[in-house]
A and B are shown apart, each in its own frame.
Chain A
Amino acid sequence: MATDIEKMIIAASRILPEEAAVYVGTGMPLLASVLALNTHAPDLLLVYEGGGVGGKPTGRLPIQVSESLTYENGVTVGSMDYVMSLAQAGWIQYGFLGGAQIDQYGNLNTTVIGDWDQPKVRLPGSGGGADIASLCEKTIILMHQDKRKFVGKLDFLTSPGYLSGPGEREKVGLPVNTGPYRVVTQIGVYGFDDKTKQMTLLHLFEGFTLKDVQENSSFPIAIAEDWNYLSPPTAAELEALQSLDPDGVVLA
């Protein structure tokens, strides 16, 4: 039986195409990307904020986006300037994000819970999150779903989703044809409706119902007409994933 985290990583991995560049952070995004690289996506180019491009690490996976393993067996290693410029110039189609809060337009908060001036909880900050959310063509958001995280209003809008609705990204000057593409939670996989740009259920994991979708969100979630159940992780996928993290740094 796969755990929630394993199901989410495998579902995210399946979203990645055979050939593309993807901006990865350490943790779940890296596992999803390397799993894709080792299975169906041999020409997936992993790009790290630290400057590593195209690394195919052996032995273990990077625990830092700037460490030497990020460019082991890789293409090049540059600087923050180089890889962020790649994203801004449109070279990087996919990017991974996470967050403490998300709203119905896929906007994310990774900065504070409570007031910015006197926060109840201080979170890491944007890091590269707002850059990836602004500049990559399609972002994949990996996060746990509950009413506290799926909120009507963010405490702080760190990284842009579709802002307040259709056309808003373009209006503020963000590159065209960019934005959140999928949200993967322990319950299912969501997309964003073409017309409303609101989060919409596409797939459920086995064991969950449509009722679970709404009961774990503070905003209404539309259901795609052709929604379906995801096929469960295969034994081969699970084995490949677990072999990437034998010590359970992320999976445990």
Chain B
Amino acid sequence: MTITKETDVSRLYGWEHPDKMRAYRLEHKSFAKKDKVTTLQDAVSRGVKQGDYIVFGGMGSVRNPIAAVHEVIRQKIGDLTIGTKGSQHDWQLLAAAGNITKAEVSYGFADEVRGLARPARSAVESGRLKVLSETTNAGFQWRFTAAMKGLSFYPTRSSLGTDTLQYSGSKTIIDPFTNEQVELLPACYPDVAVIHVHRADRYGNCQIDGNVAEDIEIAHAAKFVLVTAEEIVHDEVIQNDPALTKIPYFVVDAVVETPYGSHPNQAPGLYSFDEDHWQVWLDASLTDENVEAYLEEYVYGSDDHYAYLEKIGGLRTLRQLEKIEKKLAPYPKVAKRRG
């Protein structure tokens, strides 16, 4: 097969030979129904290692494992590489705290209508954070799809002719059926995926309400899968309707019950964005000093996730966010970057 275009500026990150991953799964994953419930401290220290390639579940600032992100910051696990697959608040906190030094980027330096995100941008512009490659939202999705399917690549017609493709690690070949060019996206196997779900049982079977983003694929692609769940439910809840299980237990390595684990972001159907807290963060994000003060107050200054929840207003705030999501309370003013 003729490779018509291969760039020298971008290299492969996260790619493995599919046979190597078959062997990895054989050795490290198990079908035994083991109770995998543990603490966030333990799950993060076992699952996230210095220098790892990490990805987070959910998309944008919706259903992200923010509690786990805080714990990575608290444990000062550094030199991480991240895949920013339409990512926002999760990785921006880590970039702000200095845990991330490298990134493969599809979307990663803004918060949609809230505006551009300063900490991650200034980290790149000052050279503290190196962008390894560019891709697209579909590109990242299909890199994980290839990994889930046990293939070394996934073909697409997206982005042909762009600089995005030149910097993506993809290869362009002649499609043997159409005799036209097609892009091959390299499979991506992260070292660790952290995924926040609505419900899980103690073995790691997960239910997700609403959109699943790329979570099924990243759960099957990553070497270590850490699930934080709003609620650990009885085995029967899962068994009663297996069609609702989006991630099966045998791909999962650790399960942590983490109520309000996506705060200040949304968990669809459960609680809304915390606009007041978002404004606190966006205001803090404007200077390095204030970012440091934010992290001191809310992350380093909270022993664990439950202490954090008290700091952001405790049950009164959380119940209000539930009411907003259920439309029992009006939506507050949307937080935006000021200045």
Query: Which residues on A are within 8 Å of B, measured CB to CB?
Result: 25-27, 49-52, 59-60, 63-68, 70-71, 77-81, 84, 87-88, 107, 111, 116, 118-131, 134-135, 156-160, 163, 168-169, 172-175, 247, 249-250
Complex alpha-carbon distance, A88 and B165, angstroms: 16
Complex alpha-carbon distance, A223 and B121, angstroms: 39
Chain B residues near A124 (CB-CB < 8 A): 107-110, 116
Chain A residues near B325 (CB-CB < 8 A): 68
Complex alpha-carbon distance, A98 and B105, angstroms: 18
- Which one of B34-42, B265-273, B293-301 is at the A interface? B265-273
> Across the interface, do A126 and B159 meet the contact criterion of CB distance under 8 Å?
yes
Complex alpha-carbon distance, A130 and B138, angstroms: 9
> Across the interface, do B211 and A66 meet the contact criterion of CB distance under 8 Å?
yes
Taking the closest CB of chain A, its distance from the CB of B329, in whole angstroms, is 11
Chain A residues near B175 (CB-CB < 8 A): 173
> Across the interface, do A111 and B136 meet the contact criterion of CB distance under 8 Å?
no
Partner of B161, one of A123, A174, A250: A174
Q: How many inter-chain contacts with C-beta < 8 Å in the A-B complex?
A: 206
Q: Say yes or no for B61: interface residue by CB 8 A criterion.
A: yes
Q: Which A residue sits closest to B209, measured CB to CB?
A: A68
- Which one of B22-30, B279-287, B330-338 is at the A interface? B330-338
Complex alpha-carbon distance, A89 and B135, angstroms: 20
Q: Say yes or no for B124: interface residue by CB 8 A criterion.
A: yes
> Across the interface, do A88 and B60 meet the contact criterion of CB distance under 8 Å?
no
Chain B residues near A49 (CB-CB < 8 A): 59, 86, 137
> Across the interface, do B137 and A131 meet the contact criterion of CB distance under 8 Å?
yes
A78-B164 contact given A63-B114, A125-B106, CB 8 Å threshold: no
Complex alpha-carbon distance, A131 and B80, angstroms: 27
> Across the interface, do A126 and B164 meet the contact criterion of CB distance under 8 Å?
yes
Complex alpha-carbon distance, A169 and B165, angstroms: 14
A122-B164 contact given A84-B138, A130-B136, CB 8 Å threshold: no
Pick the most buried of B109, B142, B172: most chain A CB atoms within 10 A of its CB.
B109
> Across the interface, do A159 and B210 meet the contact criterion of CB distance under 8 Å?
no
Chain A residues near B207 (CB-CB < 8 A): none
Q: Say yes or no for B213: interface residue by CB 8 A criterion.
A: yes
Chain A residues near B215 (CB-CB < 8 A): 79
